[in-house]
Amino acid sequence: MNRFLIRFALLALVLATMQSCDSLYKEDLTNCYAGVSVTLRVNPSMTDAAAAQAAAQSAVIYVFDSEGHFLERRQTQPGQQELLFYPSTGPLTVVGFINYEECEVTPLDETTVREQGLATLQRDGYHYLLPEDIFYGATQLVNVSNSFTVEHQDILAVRHTGQATITVRMLKEYAGVDDDDFYIITRPTGNAVDFFGNVASHAASHTPAVSFVAGEFVTNNFNVLPTAPSTPMTVEIWHRAKGIIYSTDTHRTGDDIHIEADRTTNILIDFTTEISIRIEQSLWGVQHSWKTFN
């Protein structure tokens, strides 16, 4: 008889536990809470998703509670599932960055909130380092699970950097010098991304690698964070002995030079006869081929 009562009691306990795990009431879920999971990945709907995924290296996620207070920073890899265990905090927000190594991230602790988070490009002396191919994404989780169901969300990160390429024709003739001692400065472009995915500051100046190729002074495609809508990017051409040679922030149509995320801005400065500035937008990673009659 005692054995029967013991078996009956154990069966009743198991049934009660299963019932509580299926309950919709949060207080009943505490003992059965199994965590929630996220996976940070490059958005597959991007036009160059395959190449972007191949370029996606290191990644990091930041977890915040329902009021935006910081809970956790976790190093991860693109495409790697991460289990989060916060049984009594309510809904969660998870922010993710991919290829963020060239950024200095605001130190966060339990006293800080999401609004204070900022990923800032590092300086190299006076100028900023050119950014890597930075991706950002965020998602929200209800943060309810039980022994049978674990909530999962993919964080689909999108590209936050733009690209530029600059070609200068007849530069030595215009400057009146015969050496190669020129360089280019671009400014101001974005230098920080906040934890809502906005370019939060536009104070960066960059010195992209540049060289003479077949008589033209050219850069390869170089990454920059986008410009502010009200402030175009200025291209400055300098000679180390003579100083600044030329500066422009508009092209021949009178429109400003702007950098857009996930696009390449191709810039041609031609001193052949009268000064001519041309702009062509192309897909990310695609360099426009300027014809001699342009």
Cα–Cα distance, 70 to 67 (Å, whole number): 9
pTM of the model: 0.84
Answer yes or no: do 146 and 181 share one domain.
no
Residues 138, 221: one domain? no
The verdict on 89 and 196 lying in the same domain is no
Residue 153 shares a structural domain with residue 206: no
Q: What is the DSSP string of 151-209?
A: -EEEEEEEE--EEEEEEEESHHHHHT--S--EEEEEEEEB-EEETTS-EEE--EEE---
Q: Is residue 7 part of a domain?
A: no
HSE, CB side, 13 Å, CA atoms: give it for residue 110.
0
CA distance 148 to 140: 21
Render the burial of 191-224: b for 16+ CB within 10 Å, e for the rest.
bbbbbebebbbbebbbbbebeeeeeebbbebbbb
pLDDT, averaged per 10 consecutive residues of the chain (294 residues), comes to 45 41 47 89 87 87 96 95 93 96 90 95 93 95 83 94 96 96 97 96 96 95 95 97 96 87 95 92 91 65
- Answer yes or no: do 249 and 215 share one domain: yes
Query: What pLDDT was estimated at residue 62?
Result: 97
143 and 198 both lie in a single domain: no
Same domain, 184 and 79: no
Q: How many domains does the chain have?
A: 2
Alpha-carbon span 96 to 42, nearest angstrom: 10
Model pLDDT, residue 157: 95
pLDDT at 3: 47
Q: Is there a single domain that holds both residue 151 and residue 181?
A: no
Residue span of the structural domain in which 89 resides: 29-99+134-159
- Asked if 252 and 191 sit in the same domain, the reply is yes
